[in-house]
Amino acid sequence: MEYNIPGLIEGYAQGYFLMADDTGKVGWYSSRQRALIPLDERFRYPKSLQRAINQEKFTVAVNRDFKAVVAGCANRETTWISPELENIYLMLYESGLAYSFETWQGDQLAGGVLGIVIGGAFIGESMFYRIPEGSKVAMVKLVERLRDRGFILFDAQMNNPHLERFGAYIVEDSEYQILLEQALQRRCSLDVD
């Protein structure tokens, strides 16, 4: 299937997300429920993580090594990120719509969060780590950045126990669509000033 930037923006703006099936074929998916990461006081994280944050074990970067973050997210036994989807993310990145929010320890990539930015919505696609707590610190610092930049929606798509530790919660599609419409009216950026 051919994908182009206007079609990709339209799909995400309507609340769909891309995934590859077991054969590697990429398609649009939707869900009756969405997992959101709160951008308000409901956001939380494990107390044990505060030590890593206080010690400043990691530095944060945006798009320092986008391809490595995509590869890290795809490098799992079971993955929905096929080579075709990796190419789509790269196309979105080159168009200024896909981002990797990264943590680094010296010159080593520690972890990162991969996502799409449309208006005031950050649509989280995946996350990974190479150094323990790398992706968790990236999540905390990403939420701080999203708050500072006026984002109103952090879509995590599907909930899991790991995301629940950060306060992730479920909304019905009708509520999600309202939040998405509000987010699309904003002009936000993750880019470094």
In a domain, 192, yes or no: no
In a domain, 191, yes or no: no
pLDDT at site 151: 97
Residue 135 C-alpha from the chain's centroid? 11
Per residue in 23-65, pLDDT tens? 889 999 999 999 999 999 999 998 888 888 988 899 999 999 9
Tell me the whole-structure pTM to 2 decimals: 0.94
Q: Which domain holds residue 159?
A: 5-184
**Contacts with 77 (C-beta within 8 Å, 6 or more apart), sequence order:** none
The pLDDT of residue 192 is above 80: no
Per residue in 124-140, pLDDT tens? 999 999 999 999 999 99
In a domain, 189, yes or no: no
In a domain, 106, yes or no: yes
* 93 φ/ψ sector (left φ>0, alpha ψ -120 to 50, else beta): alpha
Cα separation, 138 vs 132, in Å, equals 11
Helix H segments across the chain? 5-13, 47-54, 66-74, 83-94, 134-148, 161-164, 173-184
Per residue in 6-27, pLDDT tens? 999 999 999 999 999 988 899 9
In a domain, 190, yes or no: no
121-129 sheet: strands from edge to edge: 59-62, 98-105, 108-118, 121-129, 153-157, 33-36, 169-172
pLDDT at site 172: 96
Count of domains for the chain: 1
Cβ(135)–Cβ(8) under 8 Å?
no
The pLDDT of residue 85 is above 90: yes
In a domain, 193, yes or no: no
Q: Could you tell me the CATH number of the domain that includes residue 91?
A: 3.40.630.70
